[in-house]
Structure 1
Amino acid sequence: MEYKDLQVFLSVVEAQHLGRAGQHLHMSSSTLSRRLSRMEKDVGAQLLIRDSGPLTLTPAGELFRQHAEQTLESFQALRSAVNSEVSDMEGSLTLYCSVTASYSFLADLLARFRERYPRVDLRIHTGDAAESIPRADSGDADVVIAARPEQLPSDLTFRAMASSPLLFIAPRSIGTVPQLARPDTNWSEVPMVLSESGLARSRVNQWFSARGIRPHIYAQVTGHEAIVSMVALGVGVGVVPELVLQNSPLAGRVRVLAVRPELEPFAIGLCAQTQRLNEPLLQALWHTAVR
């Protein structure tokens, strides 16, 4: 069992709710549930009672909570002893990510990196998420925060940090897109707002193709944030990562559709050229991100 598993367990215990804990950890409720089930299997006992209402600890869960707190406390003491000295490493790195990734992952990463490597200059560029992997591949960015593509270029290495489901979203008002009010939705008639390119577009194209559906594309936009905005205006149905929706100021003006089968979730993490991972600055950032 990993230290991150113990941290996840304690976060769920504190929140007493999978949804709230998921928002803090940038994980979906289904991902958390699977992770907790794996822990219970490793321990050999039920740890949490997941009936209606707040999550509560079983007697075994209380023992496991104490074990998790003691283990993490000991590990933190070890890390503090090992990393007691601030590194004098100098230089600069260019990091590229989407706007959503910048305030979902970057703030915590920067805080920890700057504490350990105060003399290293991190140059942050933000833009369309679809540009992340190409920038790492071309060398325009030393490292990127991105969703792992279905086919990762052979010269790149990816290290996952979190997972984000891919969701169909519609305007909050049910009557705004009348095609959705029918018992059996005819998806060929539903106006769709999709990204111009990138992993999300590829997966939604595969979803429609597998069902022999030619989608009615109302608009194609750059960036997932723009999709949420257009859907909130009532122009159609969009597909965005859950992480984008959670951080959108317009989240309350859209609803998530229960579409089956679900689209494959995004794996989000760091990506850089494999041949450069032995460079000290990249190693420092890489190790900071996954601790």
Structure 2
Amino acid sequence: MDHKHLNYFLALAKTLHFSRASELCHISAPTLSRNIKQLEDEVGVMLFLRDNRSVKLTREGVAFIDYATSTLANWQHFKTHLTEPQQHIYGNVSIYCSVTASYSFLHHILEQLRAHHPHIEITLNTGDPALAINRVLDGHEAMAIAARPTKLPAQIAFVKIGHTPLVFIAPKIPCPITEKLASTAKQIDWSALEFIVPEQGFSRQRLEQWWRKNNVHGKIYAQVAGHEAIVSMVSLGLGIAMIPKIVLDNSPLQDKVQVLSTDTAAPSGIDIGLAVLHKELNDPAISALWNIAQNMGEKVL
């Protein structure tokens, strides 16, 4: 059985989208479709149900995932053992994370990776941390550094690598926000302040929960993708915000904002970890990063 066909099958099984899978495989969608048909002819059953609008795995297709994954993993192990007596691990792993995570958590992981597995290559994409888990679920990247959601999807394996509190920040420059804070120095009137909030994600959920718990009628000045941009907007006097402390600690603008203390209990912090699909852990390169993350120990920031 052609290993190329197995790789194509796994890409389509992961994305359930011919165009996206063909991009991952660096071939055209018609070529991918033709190869999948050849594989189905060889296996003797349909692995996918497809029409003009959707692609779904058949029962046989679901079962075939384990076969394809283990076959490719065994083949990779055999090649490595045959050509490299020291059993170096080769491969490319795509990772998604926020800008802040790229030079904090990811930096420590890649230090260990370079020391122990120098032949593994990394493709890094950065963006809004609220998208991290979905980027892995949708097959855009193999792994992501992400906040652990309240309910972790069943397909996702998650190893905790750190924890960060959530803090409220406000501008330092003279502006309507600092004037309001000065006038209510003894007890902050949170409902009178404008908030810069994330467009989506775990931090947004935690803020809204805190509003409800403390009967705060939060006024939203702007909704922003990415915590780093939120710090910038707060420093300009446009509002206050709730952000992970790790973002503030790594921001070049941290001396332009002030941390606000709350009379009520602060929102609970965020567990941060490495997320990957369970079925991807058979890949030797992905497994190597996973093991590094497991052995890192928790980092509290």
- Answer yes or no: same fold by TM over 0.5: yes
Q: Distance in 2 between matches of 1:86 and 1:192?
A: 55
Q: Distance in 1 between matches of 2:258 and 2:174?
A: 9
Look up the match of 1:187.
190
Q: Distance in 2 between matches of 1:124 and 1:175?
A: 39
Query: What is the TM-score of this pair, normalised by structure 2?
Result: 0.65
Contact map agreement 2:173 2:236 (CA 8 A) in 1: no
Q: Does 1:255 align with 2:258?
A: yes
Q: Distance in 1 between matches of 2:220 and 2:257?
A: 19
SS state at 2:104 partner: helix
Residue correspondences, number = 207
Worse overlay, 209-218 or 190-199: 209-218
- Paired residues for 1:108-257 under 5 Å: 108-173=108-173, 176-177=176-177, 178-181=179-182, 182=184, 183-257=186-260
C-alpha displacement of 1:158 = 1.0
Q: Distance in 2 between matches of 1:245 and 1:112?
A: 25
Q: Distance in 2 between matches of 1:173 and 1:165?
A: 25
Contact map agreement 1:207 1:263 (CA 8 A) in 2: yes
Assess, with a 3 A threshold, how the Cα gap between structure 1 residues 257 and 90 changes in structure 2: closer, same or farther. Answer: same
The residue identity in structure 1 corresponding to 2:167 is: L
C-alpha displacement of 1:227 = 0.8
Contact map agreement 1:129 1:146 (CA 8 A) in 2: yes
In angstroms, what is the RMSD of aligned CA positions? 1.6
Look up the match of 1:74.
none
Assess, with a 3 A threshold, how the Cα gap between structure 1 residues 285 and 164 changes in structure 2: closer, same or farther. Answer: same
Gaps in structure 1 of 5+ consecutive residues: 1-84
Kindly provide the CA deviation profile for residues 66-123 of structure 1, in whole angstroms up to 9, marking residues without a partner as x: xxxxxxxxxxxxxxxxxxx964111111111100000112222112112211222111
CA radius of gyration, larger in: 2
- Paired residues for 1:48-63 under 5 Å: none
Kindly provide the CA deviation profile for residues 107-148 of structure 1, in whole angstroms up to 9, marking residues without a partner as x: 221121122112221111111111111111122111101111
C-alpha displacement of 1:221 = 0.7
Contact map agreement 2:195 2:221 (CA 8 A) in 1: yes
Look up the match of 2:89.
89
Contact map agreement 2:94 2:141 (CA 8 A) in 1: yes
Worse overlay, 240-249 or 148-157: 148-157
Worse overlay, 257-266 or 224-233: 257-266
Gaps in structure 2 of 5+ consecutive residues: 1-84, 296-301
Assess, with a 3 A threshold, how the Cα gap between structure 1 residues 201 and 279 changes in structure 2: closer, same or farther. Answer: same
SS state at 2:215 partner: coil
C-alpha displacement of 1:275 = 2.3
Structure 1 consecutive aligned stretches of length 4 or more whose deviation exceeds 4 Å = 173-176
Q: Distance in 2 between matches of 1:258 and 1:135?
A: 35
